[in-house]
Amino acid sequence: MSVVIRLARAGTKKRPVYHVVVADSRFPRDGRFIERLGHFNPLLPKDNETRLKLDMDKVKAWLAKGAQPSDRVSRFLDAAGVKKREARNNPEKAVPRKERKAQAEAAAKG
Protein backbone atom coordinates (compact mmCIF):
# COMPACT_ATOMS: atom_id res chain seq x y z
CA MET A 1 0.00 0.00 0.00
CA SER A 2 1.54 3.30 -1.06
CA VAL A 3 0.71 6.10 1.35
CA VAL A 4 0.83 9.76 0.33
CA ILE A 5 0.56 13.06 2.16
CA ARG A 6 -1.60 15.28 -0.01
CA LEU A 7 -4.24 18.00 -0.07
CA ALA A 8 -7.96 17.20 0.02
CA ARG A 9 -10.26 19.99 -1.08
CA ALA A 10 -12.93 21.30 1.25
CA GLY A 11 -14.85 24.56 1.45
CA THR A 12 -17.51 25.92 -0.85
CA LYS A 13 -17.57 26.82 -4.51
CA LYS A 14 -14.96 29.50 -5.33
CA ARG A 15 -13.78 29.47 -1.67
CA PRO A 16 -11.34 26.55 -1.43
CA VAL A 17 -9.83 25.29 1.81
CA TYR A 18 -7.60 22.23 1.79
CA HIS A 19 -7.00 19.59 4.44
CA VAL A 20 -3.52 18.07 4.55
CA VAL A 21 -4.20 14.35 4.87
CA VAL A 22 -2.44 11.00 4.79
CA ALA A 23 -4.22 8.67 2.38
CA ASP A 24 -3.76 5.56 0.31
CA SER A 25 -2.76 6.70 -3.17
CA ARG A 26 -5.58 4.64 -4.73
CA PHE A 27 -8.31 6.58 -2.91
CA PRO A 28 -9.92 9.66 -4.50
CA ARG A 29 -8.59 13.12 -3.74
CA ASP A 30 -11.50 14.11 -1.49
CA GLY A 31 -12.34 10.57 -0.42
CA ARG A 32 -11.24 8.31 2.40
CA PHE A 33 -8.08 9.19 4.29
CA ILE A 34 -6.09 7.72 7.15
CA GLU A 35 -5.31 10.80 9.23
CA ARG A 36 -5.67 14.57 8.98
CA LEU A 37 -2.40 16.45 9.58
CA GLY A 38 -3.46 20.06 9.14
CA HIS A 39 -5.10 22.55 6.81
CA PHE A 40 -4.21 25.11 4.13
CA ASN A 41 -6.20 28.22 3.18
CA PRO A 42 -4.89 29.68 -0.11
CA LEU A 43 -7.18 32.72 0.13
CA LEU A 44 -5.25 34.18 3.05
CA PRO A 45 -2.17 36.35 2.39
CA LYS A 46 1.17 34.55 2.30
CA ASP A 47 2.49 36.31 5.41
CA ASN A 48 -0.50 35.20 7.53
CA GLU A 49 0.50 32.48 10.00
CA THR A 50 -2.93 30.80 9.85
CA ARG A 51 -2.62 30.18 6.09
CA LEU A 52 -0.97 26.82 6.78
CA LYS A 53 -1.26 24.78 9.96
CA LEU A 54 0.52 21.43 10.21
CA ASP A 55 1.10 19.03 13.09
CA MET A 56 4.83 18.57 12.46
CA ASP A 57 5.16 15.64 14.88
CA LYS A 58 2.59 13.67 12.91
CA VAL A 59 4.15 14.71 9.59
CA LYS A 60 7.60 13.54 10.68
CA ALA A 61 6.15 10.27 11.96
CA TRP A 62 4.43 9.56 8.63
CA LEU A 63 7.55 10.49 6.65
CA ALA A 64 9.51 8.04 8.82
CA LYS A 65 6.94 5.36 7.96
CA GLY A 66 7.54 5.95 4.24
CA ALA A 67 4.69 8.27 3.24
CA GLN A 68 5.48 10.26 0.09
CA PRO A 69 4.40 13.94 0.05
CA SER A 70 2.77 15.40 -3.04
CA ASP A 71 4.54 18.23 -4.85
CA ARG A 72 2.59 20.99 -3.09
CA VAL A 73 2.99 19.39 0.34
CA SER A 74 6.71 18.89 -0.29
CA ARG A 75 6.94 22.63 -0.98
CA PHE A 76 5.32 23.29 2.41
CA LEU A 77 7.69 20.88 4.14
CA ASP A 78 10.72 22.42 2.42
CA ALA A 79 9.65 25.89 3.58
CA ALA A 80 9.26 24.53 7.12
CA GLY A 81 12.68 22.87 6.95
CA VAL A 82 11.35 19.34 7.52
CA LYS A 83 12.21 17.71 4.19
CA LYS A 84 14.46 19.05 1.45
CA ARG A 85 12.80 19.28 -1.97
CA GLU A 86 14.92 18.77 -5.05
CA ALA A 87 14.71 21.50 -7.68
CA ARG A 88 12.91 20.60 -10.87
CA ASN A 89 14.21 21.46 -14.32
CA ASN A 90 12.02 21.59 -17.41
CA PRO A 91 13.86 23.53 -20.13
CA GLU A 92 11.25 22.64 -22.79
CA LYS A 93 8.55 24.56 -20.92
CA ALA A 94 10.31 27.90 -21.43
CA VAL A 95 10.55 27.54 -25.23
CA PRO A 96 7.58 28.95 -27.19
CA ARG A 97 5.53 26.33 -29.00
CA LYS A 98 6.25 27.44 -32.60
CA GLU A 99 9.99 27.48 -32.00
CA ARG A 100 9.83 24.06 -30.35
CA LYS A 101 7.94 22.69 -33.34
CA ALA A 102 10.46 24.18 -35.80
CA GLN A 103 13.36 22.71 -33.79
CA ALA A 104 11.75 19.27 -33.84
CA GLU A 105 11.23 19.45 -37.60
CA ALA A 106 14.83 20.60 -38.14
CA ALA A 107 16.11 17.74 -35.98
CA ALA A 108 14.00 15.23 -37.94
CA LYS A 109 15.38 16.44 -41.30
CA GLY A 110 19.01 16.71 -40.27
Centre a 10 Å sphere on the Cβ of residue 18 and count the other Cβ atoms it contains.
Answer: 21
Give the Cα separation of 38 and 18 in Å (integer). 9
Q: What is the pLDDT of residue 108?
A: 87
| Domain 1-78, second-level architecture | 2-Layer Sandwich (3.30)
Q: What is the pLDDT of residue 44?
A: 95
**Positions of the chain with pLDDT lower than 50, given as ranges:** none
pTM over 0.95: no
